[in-house]
Structure 1
């Protein structure tokens, strides 16, 4: 299957561990300035003309810091919590960006939370089911490694606004520690959240009443998504799997683990899409931390074995290396793809026919696809 390798498993010598630590420090410095805290989510009563307000629903295995609040931290919770957020984007919003508040939240220049509400599970399901956008489907975003809650929430808002998606945006947020030095802790949090995501997807498909349900997972969120799909298969919920459309951006998964997951799940009814890039430095670091085991998000689409395996598993693998990234890590190119998604699929787009082809199993290079 995909990415089979005969390379033996090796321990990491001390000098290589030091180089990994240095690389991690460089990536951390280049990627992160001051990180947002949950303070940025404190609702503001200010209203700005021409600001766009997006209603987002949340299912999370993060425990609230205080009972009954929407202040979600990194402590895991066995029982999922549910919430709704109304977030405004400023009139001057630039695609691909999250305009974070600086000193104080100003809806004229930054993302701003207008309202937030904690919900029971039945209230969450009813709200999503009755949302007028449901006819266009439900989009579930599963964030990746090193994300705190406001980063995950505002990323979904940005993706929803920039892609001009008409469906209901739902964030599934797992208890990432929100630290670049907590890789192993985040992997444990993924394993902890598998059942929670599987249950959420099952409920959303049931309540969608035939409307499409798409899962967009980034980085380590891809590992969580695959584990949840595997769980659904083992529970005999094929009817749920058949209604899911899955897109995984830069999935941080060992190829042999992915192969084992696909062996259980089987080819999905709707083509799964993997967005990959061989110069993704975050996945390169993940590979080094895993004794130089490759990552699915860095597959070589020029390898004929990859294409054969993709077609057999009903997977479309798209190399998006031609798209710009926001920093030198090259781990967030999917954000740029979301920004041009609406244009690619518009009725007037010269790329519409080619864009449709990306939903078919096989391998593609985005740069070549755009030229055609």
Structure 2
């Protein structure tokens, strides 16, 4: 590299090289076009969408990175192939085959009333919770949609999957633009959370924010608290995966949001390479997603602030940046708790290490995974 190249450019070029080493072509809007039929052995997942992205054309479910002046709503049914490998998205090729790949089988443009009615009906029909996924930086619409379909299929939660899609540029050089886009989207996410929390048939609203989406989630929680909409916050169960949040900013956010029940959960990994670059781009300021749970100060803050901080470094990463471990963790966690014999381990505050081999939680010094181990 030329010695005169600015550090910011060097870092961005390094991150770009890592991403390109693992990625082929990215999926375009063509994967949203419904196929004629699926295969009987496939599993169907219906995802509801609320997005601040602009539609390419009115009434159509293809979206740009432009910022819509109001929320757009949609419904997609995604077919998961019989040979699906957990954690993976089997992307369709030029001739989509539901026997071997994810495919869209149905899609509908919705208005707010129909969006709310359909989620309420699904919740009343046996899926008592709504689960909202807030994606991260450098993510296009179809990547976020198929990722939530994959998470829902692998984890098999009894929740109604809802995607909150903010207008990411889906470009490695779009970090600043994406940060502006999530700031733009705060009021809209607050509106969606309030809408679902007010739905009688929905028991809990589970919010999972990944990376920059975790920053959007925390800013929205802070806004709801400042607006004294405590009844909305009290119905939320929040998980932040690899949060790309300045540590001092997070402290200020937590001070306003206050304790939550169950505790707000933070999934971290010290070797997250994407967050390491984000830290350097931010002047060396630590990101919440790389917290060291062996640090006694982190353990003390977690208990005092009623947080659940879990190091998931032992979970196999699905990307070379070690930034998407939450995908594997979600499937493991769901399989451990699905049989009903184990209590929910995410309802206890503190700092923990997740042992992927033993599917147990441990403090940095002693195993405390009795709930997971059935003891």
> For 2:69 and 2:326, how far apart are their aligned partners in 1?
31
Q: How do residues 131-210 of structure 1 correspond to structure 2 at under 5 angstroms?
A: 131=122, 132=124, 135-209=127-201
User: Of the two structures, which has the highest relative contact order with CA contacts closer than 8 Å and spacing of 6 or more?
Assistant: 1
Match of residue 370 from structure 1: 359
Q: Which runs of 5+ in 2 are unaligned?
A: 361-368, 370-375
Q: Which runs of 5+ in 1 are unaligned?
A: 1-12
Of the candidates 56, 65, 70, which is equivalent to residue 56 of structure 2?
Answer: 65
Give the C-alpha shift of residue 133 in structure 1: 5.0
Of the candidates 284, 287, 291, which is equivalent to residue 276 of structure 2?
Answer: 284
Match of residue 108 from structure 1: 99
Contact preservation (8 Å) 1:61, 1:76: yes
> For 2:42 and 2:218, how far apart are their aligned partners in 1?
36
Match of residue 312 from structure 2: 320
Of the candidates 27, 30, 45, which is equivalent to residue 21 of structure 2?
Answer: 30
TM-score (norm 1): 0.92
Q: How do residues 208-357 of structure 1 correspond to structure 2 at under 5 angstroms?
A: 208-209=200-201, 211-347=203-339, 352=342, 356-357=344-345
Deviant stretches of 4+, over 6 Å:
none
Contact preservation (8 Å) 2:19, 2:320: no
- Residue correspondences, number: 356
Deviation per CA, 1:128-185, whole angstroms, max 9, x where unpaired?
1111556431100000001000000000000000001121000000000111110000
Q: How do residues 67-106 of structure 1 correspond to structure 2 at under 5 angstroms?
A: 67-106=58-97
Distance 1:318 1:49, change over 3 A: same
> For 1:333 and 1:192, how far apart are their aligned partners in 2?
27
Equivalent position SS for 1:19: helix
Give the C-alpha shift of residue 348 in structure 1: 7.5
Give the C-alpha shift of residue 93 in structure 1: 0.6
> For 2:9 and 2:44, how far apart are their aligned partners in 1?
46
Contact preservation (8 Å) 1:61, 1:79: yes
Match of residue 6 from structure 1: none
Give the C-alpha shift of residue 312 in structure 1: 1.6
> For 1:71 and 1:208, how far apart are their aligned partners in 2?
31
Distance 1:288 1:140, change over 3 A: same
Distance 1:42 1:186, change over 3 A: same
Deviation per CA, 1:182-225, whole angstroms, max 9, x where unpaired?
00000000100000000000000101445111001110000000
> For 1:133 and 1:279, how far apart are their aligned partners in 2?
42
Give the C-alpha shift of residue 15 in structure 1: 4.7
> For 1:27 and 1:133, how far apart are their aligned partners in 2?
44
Equivalent position SS for 1:317: strand
> For 1:172 and 1:78, how far apart are their aligned partners in 2?
15
More displaced, 332-341 or 84-93? Answer: 332-341
TM-score (norm 2): 0.91
Contact preservation (8 Å) 2:120, 2:202: no
> For 1:358 and 1:301, how far apart are their aligned partners in 2?
16
